[in-house]
Amino acid sequence: MKAISGEYMQLTIAMFRTGILGYGGGPSVIPLIRHDAVTRYAWLSDDEFGETLAIANALPGPIATKMAAYLGYKLKGIRGAVISVLAHILPSCIAMIVLLSAVNYLSGSKAVAGMIAAVSPVIAVMLGLMAYEFAQKAFKGLGAIIGVVSLLLALLLLEVLQLHPAVVILLFLGYGTVHYRLLAKKNKGGTP
């Protein structure tokens, strides 16, 4: 029984921490969730986390909340998902309600503007580092040529053609599904 309550406690603390420290929305929280889920508690492998993140990006709604729900469900089923999501969103909700009365005062404060200016580069570096690590894994799994072509194709679709990111994600998920099914058939000895 102690091990069960310990797992709930770890899940609650991890999601509470990401909910409190994740300043700037879902994308800024992902490295924090990754650290807890992959490094600290080893709930997921790095590859599994990447796959989960890809699926969370493809589905509608806040990324961090979906990641919290998935982790909770994977560890403890429906009860774990509910606890994980509540632990992730409740601190922010309470803080917003408490601080709502001070919004007008804080919006003009030079100290708050300075804090925001100081935190923004840190978030950019964290996201850049995570993108770099995922790119390394993509190049390792796909090879350098296909990895670079995929990167350039995503850049073209997103920036030049200005397709919605969800469409681009679905296109790459479709490609990945077909590519790895063909690879699995080939490895089993069948012809693709």
Domain boundaries, the chain: 2-117
Q: Can you give the pTM of this predicted structure?
A: 0.55
In which band, very low, low, confident or very high, does the pLDDT at 144 lie, cut at 50, 70 and 90? confident
Q: What is the pLDDT of residues 15-63, one digit of tens each?
A: 998 888 876 666 778 888 999 999 999 999 999 998 888 888 888 888 8
Please name which of 125, 133, 11, 130 lies closest in space to residue 3, comparing C-alpha atoms.
11
In which band, very low, low, confident or very high, does the pLDDT at 191 lie, cut at 50, 70 and 90? low
Query: In whole numbers, what is the pLDDT of the chain averaged over residues?
Result: 85
How large is the average pLDDT for residues 116-125? 84
Q: Among positive and negative, which fits the CA dihedral 20, 21, 22, 23?
A: positive
More confident residue, 4 or 175: 175
* pLDDT computed for residue 127 by the predictor: 87
More confident residue, 163 or 134: 163
| Residue located via tokens 């994308």 | 27
* pLDDT computed for residue 4 by the predictor: 56
Q: Do the beta carbons of residue 95 and residue 88 sit within 8 Å? A: no
Q: Among positive and negative, which fits the CA dihedral 87, 90, 59, 160?
A: negative
Query: Which are the contacts of 103, defined by CB distance < 8 A and separation ≥ 6?
Result: none
